[in-house]
Amino acid sequence: MKRFIVAGLGNFGSGVAETLAARGHEVIAIDSDEARVEAVAARVERAAVGDATQIAVLRRIGVEGADSAIISLGDDITASILSSLAMRDLQVPNIFVKVISIDHARVMERQGVTETIFPERESAIALGYRLAASGLMNYVRLGPEFSIQEMAVPESWIGKNLRALDLRRRFQVQVIALRDLLHDKWFPAPDPDQSLTESDTLVIAGREDDLSKVAALTE
């Protein structure tokens, strides 16, 4: 079990806090808004009303010794900077910060945080990819040139199996899962000899350029 600090309990922060707690980790949540704190209090180890930029407050709620901190303080860039500095002063080794702009991300990266998260931009990019390729159902970018995409099975592939399609050699991509939409079942590391059907989708990982070539087959 790890200990996580979540500073800021808006939609993003509360979602992270509840997910971590549900997976069995110790979560300490803090927000200056009492209503937000009360909303998550029953689902986390500890929830406190307070200023997440103040070292004394963070020390009092048990930040020292935490494995990671997640900072999600809305539009207040100054607060996120001060909170990250306070977390570093309290020796939190991993600090993740939700940012609201590219400039905000640049500032936080220069502070040496572990990672910045820009949900709005990431959602916009994912939607753009899905709209550009009609066969795409889900898109997760893992890096500047690498992603995981869920796509419908192209009509020409129906009735064939993954071994025969040999996508790794032909397109330099890897099928990591198959989903049967008809029965709502997932098959990680699918059987390469299983015939594909029109109700299947494929979850494929690879470089953006290679995945685009595969996605084009669904149009």
The model's pLDDT over 100-138, given as tens digits with 9 standing for 90+, comes to 999 999 999 999 999 999 988 877 877 776 666 656 778
pLDDT tens-digit map of 152-171: 898 899 999 999 999 999 99
3-117 maps to which CATH number? 3.40.50.720
> Rounded to whole angstroms, how far apart are CA atoms 29 and 160?
50
Mean pLDDT confidence for 183-189: 90
Report the CATH architecture of 122-218: 2-Layer Sandwich (3.30)
Whether the per-residue pLDDT at 85 is higher than 70: the answer is: yes
- Tokens representing 182 are 């008809």
Which residues have a Cβ under 8 Å from the Cβ of 109 and sit 6 or more positions away? 116
Domain ranges of the chain: 3-117, 122-218
> Rounded to whole angstroms, how far apart are CA atoms 87 and 95?
8
Whether the domain at 3-117 and the domain at 122-218 fall into the same CATH topology: no
Q: Where are the beta strands (DSSP E) in 37-111?
A: 46-49, 68-71, 94-98
What's the confidence (pLDDT) of residue 131? 67
The pTM assigned to this predicted structure is: 0.72
Q: How would residue 219 be classed by pLDDT, with cut points 50, 70 and 90?
A: low
CA proximity to 46, closest of 32, 63, 70, 33 = 63
> Rounded to whole angstroms, how far apart are CA atoms 145 and 210?
10
C-alpha dist (Å) from residue 186 to 5, 164, 165, 189, 202:
33, 21, 20, 10, 10
